[in-house]
Amino acid sequence: MTSLLFISNADRADWWRETLQESVPDLQFREWPDEAGDLSEIDYALVWKPKSGLLASLPKLRTIFSLGAGVDHIFADTELPTGVPICRVVNPNMALRMREWVMMQVLIHHRRHREYDQQQRSRVWAELRQPHAGERRVGVMGLGELGGDAARHLAILGFDVAGWSRSPRTVEGVNNFHGAEGLKDFLARTEILVCLLPLTGATRNMVDTDLLAGLPKGASFINAGRGGQVVEANLLAALDSGHLSEATLDVFQAEPLPQDSPFWDHPKVTVTPHIAAFSDPRALVEQVAENIRRDRAGEPLVNVVDPKRGY
Ligand code: NDP
Ligand code: OXD
Protein backbone atom coordinates (compact mmCIF):
# COMPACT_ATOMS: atom_id res chain seq x y z
CA MET A 1 0.00 0.00 0.00
CA THR A 2 1.29 3.45 -0.95
CA SER A 3 0.31 6.31 1.35
CA LEU A 4 0.11 10.04 0.78
CA LEU A 5 -0.13 12.52 3.65
CA PHE A 6 -2.16 15.63 2.84
CA ILE A 7 -1.12 18.63 4.92
CA SER A 8 -2.97 21.88 4.32
CA ASN A 9 -4.79 24.63 6.15
CA ALA A 10 -7.38 24.97 3.36
CA ASP A 11 -10.58 22.96 3.55
CA ARG A 12 -10.22 21.26 0.21
CA ALA A 13 -9.00 17.87 1.44
CA ASP A 14 -12.07 15.94 0.27
CA TRP A 15 -11.83 17.40 -3.20
CA TRP A 16 -8.17 16.36 -3.42
CA ARG A 17 -8.96 12.93 -1.95
CA GLU A 18 -11.67 12.25 -4.53
CA THR A 19 -9.73 13.42 -7.56
CA LEU A 20 -6.45 11.81 -6.51
CA GLN A 21 -8.10 8.47 -5.76
CA GLU A 22 -9.70 8.49 -9.22
CA SER A 23 -6.24 8.87 -10.78
CA VAL A 24 -4.28 6.63 -8.40
CA PRO A 25 -6.85 4.12 -7.05
CA ASP A 26 -4.36 2.17 -4.93
CA LEU A 27 -3.14 5.30 -3.12
CA GLN A 28 -4.13 5.63 0.53
CA PHE A 29 -4.98 9.31 1.16
CA ARG A 30 -4.42 10.41 4.75
CA GLU A 31 -5.30 13.87 5.95
CA TRP A 32 -3.06 15.44 8.59
CA PRO A 33 -3.51 15.27 11.56
CA ASP A 34 -6.58 13.05 12.13
CA GLU A 35 -5.77 10.30 9.61
CA ALA A 36 -1.97 10.46 9.75
CA GLY A 37 -1.61 7.12 11.54
CA ASP A 38 1.81 5.46 11.54
CA LEU A 39 4.15 8.09 10.04
CA SER A 40 6.69 5.45 9.04
CA GLU A 41 4.23 4.28 6.35
CA ILE A 42 4.04 7.58 4.45
CA ASP A 43 5.53 7.60 0.93
CA TYR A 44 4.41 10.99 -0.39
CA ALA A 45 3.38 14.32 1.13
CA LEU A 46 1.13 16.87 -0.60
CA VAL A 47 1.56 20.06 1.37
CA TRP A 48 0.83 23.73 1.96
CA LYS A 49 2.78 25.40 4.78
CA PRO A 50 3.75 22.20 6.64
CA LYS A 51 4.82 22.89 10.21
CA SER A 52 8.56 22.74 10.77
CA GLY A 53 9.81 19.25 11.52
CA LEU A 54 6.72 17.39 10.30
CA LEU A 55 8.23 16.29 6.97
CA ALA A 56 11.43 15.24 8.74
CA SER A 57 9.35 12.88 10.88
CA LEU A 58 8.37 10.79 7.82
CA PRO A 59 11.26 8.30 7.48
CA LYS A 60 10.05 6.68 4.22
CA LEU A 61 9.15 9.94 2.45
CA ARG A 62 9.96 9.72 -1.28
CA THR A 63 8.61 13.01 -2.69
CA ILE A 64 7.17 16.29 -1.41
CA PHE A 65 4.47 17.82 -3.62
CA SER A 66 3.71 21.52 -3.17
CA LEU A 67 0.02 22.37 -3.32
CA GLY A 68 1.02 25.55 -5.12
CA ALA A 69 3.46 26.97 -7.64
CA GLY A 70 5.46 28.59 -4.85
CA VAL A 71 7.68 26.50 -2.59
CA ASP A 72 8.76 29.15 -0.07
CA HIS A 73 6.20 27.62 2.34
CA ILE A 74 8.22 24.38 2.20
CA PHE A 75 11.69 25.94 2.40
CA ALA A 76 10.46 27.84 5.48
CA ASP A 77 10.66 24.46 7.30
CA THR A 78 13.85 24.77 9.32
CA GLU A 79 14.12 20.96 9.60
CA LEU A 80 13.32 20.15 5.95
CA PRO A 81 14.77 16.71 5.10
CA THR A 82 17.55 16.92 2.53
CA GLY A 83 17.59 14.65 -0.50
CA VAL A 84 13.78 14.32 -0.81
CA PRO A 85 12.72 15.84 -4.15
CA ILE A 86 10.24 18.72 -4.03
CA CYS A 87 7.84 19.10 -6.97
CA ARG A 88 5.85 22.28 -7.53
CA VAL A 89 2.75 23.12 -9.57
CA VAL A 90 3.32 24.03 -13.20
CA ASN A 91 -0.03 23.96 -14.92
CA PRO A 92 -1.86 25.85 -17.70
CA ASN A 93 -5.03 26.01 -15.58
CA MET A 94 -3.15 27.96 -12.91
CA ALA A 95 -1.38 30.14 -15.49
CA LEU A 96 -4.73 31.04 -17.06
CA ARG A 97 -6.22 31.99 -13.70
CA MET A 98 -3.19 34.16 -12.90
CA ARG A 99 -3.29 35.72 -16.37
CA GLU A 100 -6.95 36.72 -15.82
CA TRP A 101 -6.19 38.36 -12.48
CA VAL A 102 -3.10 40.23 -13.74
CA MET A 103 -4.87 41.45 -16.89
CA MET A 104 -7.86 42.60 -14.82
CA GLN A 105 -5.69 44.55 -12.37
CA VAL A 106 -3.48 46.08 -15.06
CA LEU A 107 -6.59 47.21 -16.96
CA ILE A 108 -8.09 48.68 -13.79
CA HIS A 109 -4.90 50.71 -13.21
CA HIS A 110 -4.49 51.60 -16.87
CA ARG A 111 -8.12 52.71 -17.35
CA ARG A 112 -8.04 54.75 -14.08
CA HIS A 113 -10.91 52.71 -12.68
CA ARG A 114 -10.21 53.66 -9.06
CA GLU A 115 -10.83 57.32 -9.97
CA TYR A 116 -14.03 56.48 -11.88
CA ASP A 117 -15.18 54.54 -8.83
CA GLN A 118 -14.64 57.60 -6.65
CA GLN A 119 -16.37 59.78 -9.24
CA GLN A 120 -19.40 57.51 -9.19
CA ARG A 121 -19.66 57.78 -5.41
CA SER A 122 -19.61 61.60 -5.74
CA ARG A 123 -22.07 61.54 -8.69
CA VAL A 124 -19.44 63.09 -10.97
CA TRP A 125 -19.80 62.60 -14.73
CA ALA A 126 -16.37 63.44 -16.15
CA GLU A 127 -13.97 61.91 -18.62
CA LEU A 128 -10.35 61.41 -17.54
CA ARG A 129 -7.42 61.54 -19.96
CA GLN A 130 -6.50 58.09 -21.14
CA PRO A 131 -3.42 56.88 -23.03
CA HIS A 132 -3.95 53.82 -25.21
CA ALA A 133 -2.32 50.52 -24.26
CA GLY A 134 0.58 50.97 -26.66
CA GLU A 135 1.55 54.10 -24.74
CA ARG A 136 1.44 52.33 -21.38
CA ARG A 137 4.66 50.74 -20.16
CA VAL A 138 4.00 47.67 -18.02
CA GLY A 139 6.85 45.83 -16.28
CA VAL A 140 6.59 42.27 -14.99
CA MET A 141 9.12 41.11 -12.36
CA GLY A 142 9.49 37.35 -12.73
CA LEU A 143 9.19 35.88 -16.21
CA GLY A 144 8.59 32.25 -15.30
CA GLU A 145 5.56 30.04 -15.87
CA LEU A 146 3.15 32.65 -14.51
CA GLY A 147 4.94 35.97 -15.08
CA GLY A 148 6.05 34.96 -18.59
CA ASP A 149 2.51 33.97 -19.52
CA ALA A 150 0.99 37.17 -18.09
CA ALA A 151 3.62 39.37 -19.78
CA ARG A 152 3.08 37.72 -23.16
CA HIS A 153 -0.67 38.21 -22.95
CA LEU A 154 -0.32 41.83 -21.82
CA ALA A 155 1.79 42.37 -24.94
CA ILE A 156 -0.91 40.70 -27.06
CA LEU A 157 -3.41 43.13 -25.54
CA GLY A 158 -1.23 45.93 -26.90
CA PHE A 159 0.72 47.13 -23.84
CA ASP A 160 4.37 48.11 -24.11
CA VAL A 161 5.71 45.29 -21.91
CA ALA A 162 9.09 44.59 -20.35
CA GLY A 163 10.02 41.79 -18.00
CA TRP A 164 12.76 41.27 -15.44
CA SER A 165 14.24 37.89 -14.57
CA ARG A 166 17.34 36.46 -12.91
CA SER A 167 18.78 35.13 -16.16
CA PRO A 168 18.05 36.22 -19.77
CA ARG A 169 14.59 35.07 -20.92
CA THR A 170 12.88 35.29 -24.29
CA VAL A 171 9.14 35.99 -24.10
CA GLU A 172 7.34 36.91 -27.30
CA GLY A 173 6.57 40.62 -27.50
CA VAL A 174 8.35 41.36 -24.22
CA ASN A 175 11.53 43.37 -23.79
CA ASN A 176 13.76 41.44 -21.37
CA PHE A 177 15.92 42.90 -18.60
CA HIS A 178 17.73 40.64 -16.20
CA GLY A 179 19.87 40.52 -13.10
CA ALA A 180 20.88 43.30 -10.75
CA GLU A 181 22.44 45.17 -13.69
CA GLY A 182 19.11 45.28 -15.57
CA LEU A 183 16.88 46.36 -12.70
CA LYS A 184 17.47 50.13 -12.79
CA ASP A 185 16.59 50.51 -16.49
CA PHE A 186 13.65 48.12 -16.14
CA LEU A 187 12.16 50.18 -13.30
CA ALA A 188 12.85 53.52 -14.95
CA ARG A 189 10.64 52.58 -17.92
CA THR A 190 7.83 50.96 -15.90
CA GLU A 191 4.53 52.74 -15.19
CA ILE A 192 2.62 49.69 -13.93
CA LEU A 193 4.84 47.26 -12.02
CA VAL A 194 3.59 43.68 -11.63
CA CYS A 195 5.42 41.34 -9.24
CA LEU A 196 5.31 37.61 -9.94
CA LEU A 197 8.58 36.64 -8.31
CA PRO A 198 9.09 33.65 -6.04
CA LEU A 199 10.06 34.37 -2.44
CA THR A 200 13.74 33.49 -1.92
CA GLY A 201 16.65 34.91 0.05
CA ALA A 202 17.33 37.23 -2.90
CA THR A 203 13.79 38.55 -3.29
CA ARG A 204 12.79 38.89 0.37
CA ASN A 205 12.06 42.57 1.16
CA MET A 206 13.33 43.66 -2.26
CA VAL A 207 10.38 46.00 -2.91
CA ASP A 208 11.60 48.76 -0.62
CA THR A 209 12.07 52.52 -0.69
CA ASP A 210 15.04 52.28 -3.06
CA LEU A 211 13.32 50.03 -5.56
CA LEU A 212 10.12 52.10 -5.54
CA ALA A 213 12.13 55.31 -5.98
CA GLY A 214 13.44 53.81 -9.23
CA LEU A 215 9.92 53.91 -10.72
CA PRO A 216 8.70 57.10 -12.40
CA LYS A 217 6.46 59.33 -10.25
CA GLY A 218 2.82 58.25 -10.52
CA ALA A 219 3.64 54.60 -11.23
CA SER A 220 1.52 51.87 -9.69
CA PHE A 221 2.23 48.46 -8.16
CA ILE A 222 0.48 45.08 -8.42
CA ASN A 223 1.70 42.17 -6.30
CA ALA A 224 0.71 38.54 -6.75
CA GLY A 225 4.16 37.12 -5.91
CA ARG A 226 4.59 36.97 -2.15
CA GLY A 227 4.03 39.51 0.60
CA GLY A 228 7.50 38.76 1.96
CA GLN A 229 8.96 40.58 -1.04
CA VAL A 230 7.54 43.93 0.10
CA VAL A 231 8.62 46.22 2.92
CA GLU A 232 5.06 47.23 3.63
CA ALA A 233 5.91 50.43 5.54
CA ASN A 234 8.01 51.60 2.55
CA LEU A 235 5.14 50.85 0.16
CA LEU A 236 2.69 52.81 2.32
CA ALA A 237 5.12 55.74 2.47
CA ALA A 238 5.47 55.75 -1.33
CA LEU A 239 1.66 55.76 -1.70
CA ASP A 240 1.21 58.49 0.91
CA SER A 241 3.90 60.74 -0.58
CA GLY A 242 2.20 60.51 -3.99
CA HIS A 243 5.20 58.83 -5.61
CA LEU A 244 2.96 55.82 -6.28
CA SER A 245 -0.57 56.36 -7.57
CA GLU A 246 -2.05 53.05 -6.39
CA ALA A 247 -1.40 49.44 -5.45
CA THR A 248 -3.27 46.17 -5.77
CA LEU A 249 -2.08 43.54 -3.34
CA ASP A 250 -3.02 39.86 -3.28
CA VAL A 251 -0.24 38.74 -0.92
CA PHE A 252 1.03 40.14 2.37
CA GLN A 253 3.78 39.76 4.95
CA ALA A 254 1.16 38.31 7.32
CA GLU A 255 -1.80 36.30 5.99
CA PRO A 256 -4.69 36.50 6.65
CA LEU A 257 -4.11 40.25 6.54
CA PRO A 258 -4.39 41.42 10.19
CA GLN A 259 -7.55 43.35 11.03
CA ASP A 260 -5.52 46.42 11.99
CA SER A 261 -3.53 46.55 8.74
CA PRO A 262 -3.61 50.03 7.17
CA PHE A 263 -4.01 48.39 3.75
CA TRP A 264 -7.66 47.47 4.41
CA ASP A 265 -9.00 50.99 4.13
CA HIS A 266 -6.19 52.81 2.36
CA PRO A 267 -7.77 54.94 -0.39
CA LYS A 268 -5.10 53.94 -2.92
CA VAL A 269 -5.00 50.23 -2.17
CA THR A 270 -7.04 47.27 -3.38
CA VAL A 271 -6.75 44.10 -1.30
CA THR A 272 -7.56 40.60 -2.54
CA PRO A 273 -7.18 37.59 -0.19
CA HIS A 274 -4.43 35.58 -1.94
CA ILE A 275 -6.75 34.44 -4.71
CA ALA A 276 -4.93 35.64 -7.83
CA ALA A 277 -4.61 32.04 -8.96
CA PHE A 278 -6.20 28.99 -7.44
CA SER A 279 -4.90 25.44 -7.08
CA ASP A 280 -7.73 23.49 -8.72
CA PRO A 281 -7.48 19.80 -7.77
CA ARG A 282 -9.21 18.74 -11.01
CA ALA A 283 -6.32 20.23 -12.99
CA LEU A 284 -3.41 19.69 -10.63
CA VAL A 285 -4.01 16.08 -9.65
CA GLU A 286 -2.77 14.92 -13.06
CA GLN A 287 0.69 16.25 -12.32
CA VAL A 288 0.86 14.58 -8.89
CA ALA A 289 -0.45 11.29 -10.33
CA GLU A 290 2.07 11.42 -13.18
CA ASN A 291 4.94 11.97 -10.74
CA ILE A 292 3.78 9.06 -8.56
CA ARG A 293 3.67 6.89 -11.70
CA ARG A 294 7.18 8.07 -12.65
CA ASP A 295 8.52 7.48 -9.16
CA ARG A 296 7.15 3.94 -9.11
CA ALA A 297 8.60 3.27 -12.59
CA GLY A 298 11.97 4.70 -11.62
CA GLU A 299 11.61 7.50 -14.20
CA PRO A 300 12.75 11.12 -13.56
CA LEU A 301 10.12 13.33 -11.90
CA VAL A 302 8.84 16.50 -13.55
CA ASN A 303 8.73 20.04 -12.13
CA VAL A 304 11.32 19.31 -9.48
CA VAL A 305 12.57 22.40 -7.65
CA ASP A 306 16.30 23.08 -7.40
CA PRO A 307 16.89 23.62 -3.64
CA LYS A 308 20.00 25.70 -4.39
CA ARG A 309 17.92 28.22 -6.39
CA GLY A 310 15.09 28.04 -3.87
CA TYR A 311 12.29 28.28 -6.49
P1 NDP B 1 8.87 30.35 -11.90
O2 NDP B 1 9.87 29.65 -11.07
O3 NDP B 1 8.39 29.67 -13.13
O4 NDP B 1 9.45 31.77 -12.34
C5 NDP B 1 10.09 32.61 -11.45
C6 NDP B 1 10.62 33.82 -12.21
O7 NDP B 1 11.21 34.72 -11.27
C8 NDP B 1 11.73 33.45 -13.22
O9 NDP B 1 11.64 34.26 -14.35
C10 NDP B 1 12.99 33.76 -12.41
O11 NDP B 1 14.14 34.09 -13.20
C12 NDP B 1 12.54 35.00 -11.66
N13 NDP B 1 13.39 35.21 -10.49
C14 NDP B 1 13.60 34.40 -9.43
N15 NDP B 1 14.48 34.95 -8.58
C16 NDP B 1 14.85 36.13 -9.12
C17 NDP B 1 15.74 37.16 -8.73
N18 NDP B 1 16.46 37.07 -7.61
N19 NDP B 1 15.89 38.23 -9.53
C20 NDP B 1 15.18 38.31 -10.68
N21 NDP B 1 14.32 37.38 -11.13
C22 NDP B 1 14.15 36.29 -10.34
O23 NDP B 1 7.66 30.70 -10.94
P24 NDP B 1 6.10 30.85 -11.32
O25 NDP B 1 6.00 31.83 -12.42
O26 NDP B 1 5.48 29.53 -11.48
O27 NDP B 1 5.54 31.48 -9.95
C28 NDP B 1 6.04 32.69 -9.44
C29 NDP B 1 5.49 32.95 -8.05
O30 NDP B 1 4.12 33.35 -8.12
C31 NDP B 1 5.43 31.77 -7.09
O32 NDP B 1 6.71 31.48 -6.56
C33 NDP B 1 4.48 32.27 -6.03
O34 NDP B 1 5.19 33.02 -5.06
C35 NDP B 1 3.57 33.22 -6.81
N36 NDP B 1 2.20 32.67 -6.92
C37 NDP B 1 1.18 33.39 -6.37
C38 NDP B 1 -0.12 32.96 -6.49
C39 NDP B 1 -1.24 33.78 -5.97
O40 NDP B 1 -2.39 33.31 -5.99
N41 NDP B 1 -0.99 35.00 -5.53
C42 NDP B 1 -0.45 31.70 -7.16
C43 NDP B 1 0.69 31.02 -7.71
C44 NDP B 1 1.98 31.50 -7.57
P45 NDP B 1 14.75 33.01 -14.25
O46 NDP B 1 13.82 33.07 -15.42
O47 NDP B 1 16.08 33.56 -14.57
O48 NDP B 1 14.75 31.69 -13.55
C1 OXD C 1 0.86 29.26 -5.07
C2 OXD C 1 -0.10 30.16 -4.42
O3 OXD C 1 2.07 29.36 -4.82
O4 OXD C 1 -1.33 29.91 -4.52
O5 OXD C 1 0.40 28.43 -5.89
O6 OXD C 1 0.31 31.15 -3.82
Task: Return the pLDDT at 1.
Answer: 87
> What average pLDDT does range 60-85 have in this prediction?
97
The rounded distance, in Å, linking the Cα atoms of 167 and 178 is: 6
Atom 5 (ligand 2) nearest CA: 68
Does residue 228 line the site of ligand 1, with CB under 6 A?
Answer: no
> What average pLDDT does range 28-50 have in this prediction?
97
Q: Which atom of ligand 1 is nearest to the CA of 149?
A: 25
> What spacing in Å lies between the alpha carbon of 197 and ligand 1's midpoint?
4
Does residue 167 line the site of ligand 1, with CB under 6 A?
Answer: yes
Task: Return the pLDDT at 9.
Answer: 83
The yes-or-no verdict on residue 48 having pLDDT over 90 is yes
Task: Return the pLDDT at 127.
Answer: 98
Does residue 281 line the site of ligand 2, with CB under 6 A?
Answer: no
Atom 20 (ligand 1) nearest CA: 166
CB atoms within 10 A of CB 150: 31
Residues in the chain: 311
Does residue 228 line the site of ligand 2, with CB under 6 A?
Answer: no
Q: How confident is the model at residue 12 (pLDDT cuts 50, 70, 90)?
A: confident
Residues that are catalytic = 226, 274
Q: Which atom of ligand 1 is nearest to the CA of 89?
A: 26
Q: How confident is the model at residue 66 (pLDDT cuts 50, 70, 90)?
A: very high
Does residue 42 line the site of ligand 1, with CB under 6 A?
Answer: no
* pLDDT tens by residue, 94-124: 999 999 999 999 999 999 999 999 999 999 9
Task: Return the pLDDT at 279.
Answer: 87
The rounded distance, in Å, linking the Cα atoms of 76 and 74 is: 5
Task: Return the pLDDT at 55.
Answer: 98
> What average pLDDT does range 193-216 have in this prediction?
98
Q: How confident is the model at residue 24 (pLDDT cuts 50, 70, 90)?
A: very high
The yes-or-no verdict on residue 10 having pLDDT over 80 is no
Does residue 281 line the site of ligand 1, with CB under 6 A?
Answer: no
Of 305 and 1, the structure prediction assigns the larger pLDDT to 305
The yes-or-no verdict on residue 203 having pLDDT over 90 is yes
> What average pLDDT does range 278-287 have in this prediction?
91
Atom 41 (ligand 1) nearest CA: 224
> What spacing in Å lies between the alpha carbon of 281 and ligand 2's midpoint?
13
Does residue 68 line the site of ligand 1, with CB under 6 A?
Answer: yes
Q: Considering the chain, what is the average pLDDT of its residues?
A: 97
Of 278 and 145, the structure prediction assigns the larger pLDDT to 145
> What average pLDDT does range 240-256 have in this prediction?
98
> What spacing in Å lies between the alpha carbon of 43 and ligand 2's midpoint?
23
Atom 4 (ligand 2) nearest CA: 68
> What spacing in Å lies between the alpha carbon of 101 and ligand 1's midpoint?
16
The yes-or-no verdict on residue 28 having pLDDT over 80 is yes
Q: How confident is the model at residue 245 (pLDDT cuts 50, 70, 90)?
A: very high
Closest ligand to C-alpha of residue 310 is 1
